[in-house]
Chains A and B, each alone.
Chain A
């Protein structure tokens, strides 16, 4: 196998040849079949732990036996430790142990999930048994079969995710135990010795390996680990599935497989190592870099260090290397639950530890205020994503049509924010206040289309609250009518015999200002509803509520270009502009070309009217950038939900999203409606809670006018909490009410928020002066005046009916130009500047170290048409879901990056972002799956440039971290199932060119300019599954985000120049819009992201800076994406800056790689004369191209 794939052929380009040789070398080094140590070597253990290779068919029987027994020994050790205590959970919870514990816990969780999956296909029955027993079981099971279809992986993954809650819970115990174990291990010499032994064993192998790598040169060393991993995954498949364990195969397989396994899971040994590492951590001083997360990306950095620093012990090296091997696993882990807090102190030690699945999970108690005002409490693992909690809540509610709902939390400024399902909760809430509320996020324009009464009921609850709080204003009569329906739904028919006393009514809250008249009216109307069932009453309630003009409108305070106070309302149809209570303008979604924000400015670019020539931009000023971002996000989400058939496909977002990756990732209304029709269960029984509880919570609440509440708030948050205090006072007698209120009462006073905001605003505006401020204002004014002139009418299409799109031609090539300019200023600013917000929120203690983050993103999507809505949905049903997931993963990965850098949650870090609302994305996306025949080729050109600043040159290594051209390698089907399933972000490569190993070309560092050697990319190989046209792209992008070396911090403004590489106006010119399915994706995308965060926090929340620009241009047959990524690392006094450019050219048909690449590089060079110079010094160029299909 290996020999076949890696055989050097005459036709190979030199780089390919070099790469092949290196790979072989590596494989042979690691898997010496004749070595006596083989059975106990890490790679072999890892193989055993990989369900694909656990039977070790590639090594001789005798050695296999020994390997098993070795594993037994290891497991025994583990189970001992596991059995030490079962109280671990509690311990874990109460003790606010260090972050490293948390990390380990997370890893362990992942490990647990993996095992859970492998064992009973997701069922965690074996949970309680010891590790040894589990292992036995494990080996009894057949090897994991190969998945032919990437979609299966996706589905599988989603299953896993669904089950995650239980797994998480189940594993908690173990985790806790482990934690304890570790602690004890540290104390007990015996244990330590054992682990040391184990470590040493493995050490030898690894060390040798590491040394070898060093010799191989920087370029290679950078690349190899990644490549190898990828490679392994490809090859793995064949050994297990395709090739029976014949002896002949052994040789070849052996070479490769062990390697693979090594990456996969060296659980036991790793655990041992961890213990060791922990010890050493304590003892040794770590002069490590600011912590980089245990991602693949971080790997390179660490390796570098190893090589550079002589002082480091062999142990350390081992770990570092081991880490590298584990990249794949890491990816998974990171994707699922990105590592959050880092220890700034330890990089080398920690990461290996993290890799090892020693999880000490921390459970956190979440208090979720439900729509009926009751509190739902549940425990979640500290690092779970928002989705997890949300699903849990939905499960509790028995809610299936959940896409209309979301969770909110209060940020440090007491604004309610939507919990991003794709991100870790912990990262979002930024406090220890794990309190959430269920809220309606998207108000269905026609609630009668909802499938279940339960959903309608919940919507009613939200609306009752909205109405009672004044957030949804309505007239006296409507108040009375709605109130009467509420009574009917909750109390049933009006009882003439025993009419409710009026003072009972006054305990209920129907309106912000409610009087006897209204209560009487309500009772009167209630009488007229005799006979209505609760469900009918709810339906009537909704029918009336939905007509209210402010139904589903999310209000945000702002100022117009002239400083006049206005309110922006986001709704299903578009953006509404209010001045006081009057609507003074309205921008329907189809009329909006672009939505963006920059600092505290919010812009919408308007499509020119019938008589107009040019598009105009209208700008608004928000209170601060957080408000601007919140508004922007709400716009993006609302547009996506109500206007798109499917969420924007990942390929549009992926790397660019680094900055403001934010996109709506859930189901759109169209999708959720389809899903609703598929709900096949008897109408769930649910109990309608008395509104008394709810309403009372609102009693005495400060009257909230539309403006008040909505300002700066993200969604329609209930004001329960705000009100609760007062309510308790008012109705002390009601225990129930008091209880439900209590969580709210503890929350911070709402009034504070404004003060906070003001402060921030001021500071921010100062910052702005340095930068874009001036121009911004000018632009604003100008645009405003233009827009003033152009109030031409544009008919807003009705929300639901499909509409043909006229905009297609409107693809913005322009954004690219605009964007190009911006990154540079940003970079400069960012390093020196501080973002006040972040300081305030996350790290009040160290105001000094702050970073300004600038992000720009432009995404242009064409809206082809919505006409086919139903059709599309049906057809795509399968494809869509996976896609969505991918997107999530991508986002996640990005987020993780940020996390590593300890950048505060995206909301804080992003200063600007753009979004181009259109519906096209969906279409192109959908089409993709159908074009199976077309092959995609991806060519990746990377230019890595490292600029080192400051002293310590000796330490600084030119070694560029290993980049994973993960894009190219499709993981073998088998491994995929395992890895991909669990791994969200990680290997999303779904294409399987199973038999084709990607060719990788390596370049020497000495190369001045990026040389592009197109891969031979034998495309002719049969595709195992339906390769989707898009996938390659997805993967490529994904890789980019996830695998990139991480950014760290920089003390000084590095000399970094980022430029935009523009490729092919030619391509752009070719773009055509054809909605036919046969036509390749037609769309143009341009994105630029500038993201900057430089911060180093002693507490482990280091803020790394990343600056990135990216541009993607897609034509009919080609998609060219250029990404510029800047990474800064600060270790000690040393600061490293890396600029990477990656150009990905993807085509659906045969492309001339050489030509395309050459052209791309040429253009890149033209635009980056500087770059070249630097390149000559220490840039590495690596190119690889692979056949994805």
Chain B
């Protein structure tokens, strides 16, 4: 258990600024108007929580106007232990985002694995690392080949694929809420995906179902002096879901507003890449 907790440890976090192009050019599943200012403010709060509240070392990459979605760094890399897989995002417009990410992670001393296969696509948002294994959502953005390369990069772990029938990413309706705890939305497709995950796994997972799919996307960390930490969406966004999350005992719950980014399908996890340098052997 101790070791498992360690896998949720975090020392460094990589984030990226919001370009002005986000409001208009960033990809989104459904049309929505984004208040750029508000979005930037939210993001600043988000980073600040990481930095001061949680005491993490924040590496903030500069935004790039040519990459409207660049704030969603999660999709550009998957980091597990000392290995970082630089992805090949499913949407072509986002592929340049990986360059800066790769440089940053390299500087952190991680072992870099690149996804060079032309046929492979993978968004980090489709990758759910449970601490014991990977689940990769096969979505519009991620294909089998991408998942294979991920499996190759993280050979220690089982990598199972899960079909994502609705929503952008696998993590659009789920995330880890702790070691062995999966937060899951209550929609049918979310529940179905969970069942598949449970069936495919040799491990046992508890689930915590929240009414709203998007509220199921939280950031869990286990920090040395703080124990269980969960960043979640605010109560005004998902009041019912937050009530559910509040049942978690011994958790430090930190609500983070994510309203504007949500409009461009940006969930909480999307905006950061967590790195645990201590896990680096």
Contacts and interface: CB of A to CB of B under 8 A. Distances in A.
Interface of A: 473-478, 480-481, 525, 547-550, 571, 573, 579-586, 588, 791-796, 798
B196 A474 contact: no
B144 interface: yes
A582 B151 CA distance: 7
B83 interface: yes
Given A793-B195, A793-B198, A580 B281 contact: no
Contact of B156 (A548, A571, A581): A548
B199 A794 contact: yes
B60 interface: no
Interface stretch (B158-166, B211-219, B237-245): B158-166
13 contacts: A475-B153, A476-B83, A477-B111, A571-B202, A582-B148, A582-B151, A583-B161, A584-B161, A586-B199, A793-B195, A793-B196, A793-B199, A795-B198
Contacts of A476: 83, 111
The 10 closest A-B pairs by CB, nearest first: A793-B195, A549-B158, A581-B151, A583-B160, A473-B155, A793-B199, A586-B200, A475-B155, A475-B156, A580-B148
Interface string B229-251: 00000000000000000000000
Contacts of B161: 582-584
Contacts of B200: 583, 585-586
Nearest to B194: A793
Contacts of B153: 475
Contacts of B201: 586, 796
Interface of B: 81-83, 111, 132-133, 136, 144, 147-148, 151-161, 194-196, 198-202, 204, 281
Given A475-B155, A475-B156, 5 more contacts: A476-B111, A478-B156, A582-B148, A586-B200, A793-B199
Nearest to B4: A547
A525 B81 CA distance: 16
A581 B160 contact: no
Contacts of B83: 475-477
Residue from B82, B148, B151 having most chain A Cβ neighbours under 10 A: B151
Contact of B133 (A474, A525, A549, A573): A549
B1 to A, nearest CB: 13
B156 A474 contact: yes
A478 B196 contact: no
A583 B202 CA distance: 11
> Which applies to chain A's interface (DSSP): helix, strand, loop or mixed?
loop
A549 B157 contact: yes
A477 B110 CA distance: 11
A707 to B, nearest CB: 12
Residue from A473, A549, A586, A588 having most chain B Cβ neighbours under 10 A: A549
Contacts of A586: 160, 199-202
A798 B194 CA distance: 18
Nearest to B135: A583
A1143 B81 CA distance: 64
Contacts of A794: 199
Nearest to A445: B202
A338 B9 CA distance: 62
Given A477-B81, A477-B82, A581 B199 contact: no
Contact of B155 (A478, A481, A588, A791): A478
Nearest to B280: A477
A584 B160 contact: yes
Contacts of A547: 132, 156
A385 to B, nearest CB: 35
Contacts of A550: 158
A515 to B, nearest CB: 12
Residue from B83, B133, B156, B161 having most chain A Cβ neighbours under 10 A: B156
Contact of B159 (A480, A583, A791): A583
Contacts of A548: 155-156
A525 B281 contact: yes
A548 B151 CA distance: 12
Contacts of A480: 281
Contacts of B194: 793
B199 A477 contact: no
A541 to B, nearest CB: 14
Nearest to B281: A477
Contacts of B196: 791, 793
A581 B159 contact: yes
Contacts of B154: 475
Residue from B136, B144, B200 having most chain A Cβ neighbours under 10 A: B200
Nearest to B152: A581
Nearest to B196: A791
A586 B161 CA distance: 11
B175 to A, nearest CB: 19
Nearest to A793: B195
Contacts of B160: 582-584, 586
Contacts of A582: 136, 144, 147-148, 151, 159-161
A569 to B, nearest CB: 10
B199 A583 contact: no
A581 B158 CA distance: 9
A798 B157 CA distance: 18
Given A583-B161, A584-B161, A474 B199 contact: no
B240 to A, nearest CB: 24
Contacts of A580: 144, 148, 151
Nearest to A794: B199
A920 to B, nearest CB: 23
Nearest to A544: B156
A1177 to B, nearest CB: 58
Nearest to A579: B144
Nearest to A584: B161
A791 B111 contact: no
A412 B221 CA distance: 55
Contacts of B111: 476-477
Contact of B195 (A477, A481, A792): A792
Contacts of B159: 549, 581-583
Contacts of B198: 793, 795-796
Contacts of A478: 155-156
B144 A549 contact: no
A746 B152 CA distance: 34
A476 B85 CA distance: 13
Contacts of B136: 582
Nearest to A476: B111
Given A474-B156, A547-B156, A582-B161, A796 B199 contact: yes
Contact of B158 (A477, A481, A583, A795): A583
Nearest to A543: B3
B61 to A, nearest CB: 26
Contacts of B82: 477
A583 B82 CA distance: 23
